[in-house]
Amino acid sequence: MNIPDIEHFPTKYWQKLEDGRVRCDMCPQHCTLREGKRGTCFIRMHHQGEIVLTSYGRSSGFCIDPVEKKPLNHFYPGSSVMSFGTAGCNLGCKFCQNWDISKSREIDTLCGSAMPDQLALTAKRKGCKSIAFTYNDPVIFFEYAIDAAKAAHEQGLKSIAVSAGYICDEPRVEFYRYMDAANIDLKGFTERFYHKICHAHLQPVLDTLVYLKNETPVWFEITNLVIPDENDSDEELHNMCQWIAENLGLDVPLHFSAFHPDFKMMDKERTPLSTLLRAREIALSYGLHYVYCGNVFDTESDSTYCPSCRGRVIERNWYDLGRYHVDDTGHCKHCGYQLAGRFDGPKENFGRQRIPVRIQ
C-alpha cells in the first residue's frame, strides 16, 4: 500500500473556518483547531490547513483474544480475534479502564506498527476469525480502521468495532459499511451522566444504535458498565431497557459489566454481583432475550438460554465455553429455535487466553 506522509495521513471529515481554524466533523465534539493543535482525541490534528490522522499504521499493541472478551457472545462463539488500538479517545470518561492507552497524550504509546495488509496477514496466519479495533475507540483512527477492515476482508476475516458509538452522521455511514460486528458501549442512560462523567452527550450514541439496527447488516451487542451510585438506579435501568426493547428489539444482546475502581474514580466500590443480577432481571422483565453479567464469575448469568424452550444452550465461565447445544447454523439443539447472531460451522474454544503478538 502506497501511503504518502504516514505521520500526517489525510482525512476528509472537516471544514475550514473563516478565522483560519479547521473544524473536525468526525465526532460530535466538533473540535475547532488552530495550526498544530490536536483535538480531544489527541490523534487528529490541524496540519497545514487540514485535519490529519497522526497514528496511521501505529498501535499501542497487538494481542489475540477470545471474541467473548469484546464482549460478543453471539458472533462466532469461541473464536479468536486479533485486537489492537492506538492512543487517545474522543470521550473523557472518568472511569476509563483502559486509561493508560485511551488517555495517553504520548505518541510513544504507539510502540507497535503494522500496515493494514500486514495486520490482516498476521491475523490469518495465527488462525483468527476476525480483527477487532478496541482498547480505544476506532472512530478516532477511522481511516486506519477502515483500511484494516478492507485488508481483513481480502483475507476472509471479519472486522469488529468496539466503540462508544460517538460519531457524526456522515462518517457513521462510511465506517459501518466495512464492519461486520460491533459492541457499543452505552455508558449510561441520562444526559447528566454523559455530560458529567464522560464529557459527551447521550443522543449521538442512541442515534448510532438505531442506525445499526435499521440501516445496516452489522451484528451488534451492547455493554453497560454499571457504576455504583452513578448509573445503577432502578429508574435509569428501567428506562434504558425499555428503550432498547422498543427501539432495537428483543434480540440485541445486553451485557451488564462490573465496574472496578480506576483512573479518576478510585473512590468508588466495585460493582457487587447483586447489582448486576438486579439489572439483568430488569432487562429480562422487558422481554430481552439475551442478557449477561460480565467482569464477574457467574456461569448462570454469563450463559446463553434459548428464548423458546429456555434451555441453556451456551455455557460460559468467564471466556471459557462449556456445554454447547447449538448446531453449526445457530439452532437450539433442544427445540430447533434459531438463535440471534452469527454462527457458521462447529464452535471453536479459544478460551481465556491472551496472546501478545509482535508484527514484523
Q: How far apart are the first and last CA of the chain?
A: 16
Strand 181-185 versus strand 158-163 pairing type:
parallel
**Angstrom distance (rounded) from CA 199 to CA 99:** 15
Contact 330, 339 (CB under 8 A): yes
Establish whether 93 is an annotated binding residue. Answer: yes
Query: Collapsing DSSP states into helix, strand and coil, what is residue 199?
Result: coil
Count of all residues that appear for the chain in the document: 360
* Contact predicate 134/45, CB 8 Å: no
Residue with cell 488462525: 127
Measured in degrees and rounded to the nearest 5, phi and psi for residue 170 equal -65, -50
Ligand-binding annotation for 241, yes or no, is no
CA 22, chain centre distance (Å): 28
* Number of other residues whose CB lies within 10 A of the CB of residue 33: 19
Q: Is 63 annotated as a binding residue?
A: no
Helix (H, G, I), strand (E, B) or coil at 79: coil
How far CA 203 is from CA of 25, 120, 121, 288, 295, in Å, comes to 16, 34, 38, 22, 27
| Cα atoms found within 13 Å of the Cα of residue 15, Cβ hemisphere only | 4
Strand-pair partners of 223: 185, 255
Q: Which residues are annotated as a binding site?
A: 89, 93, 96
| Residue positions forming the annotated binding site for [4Fe-4S] cluster | 89, 93, 96
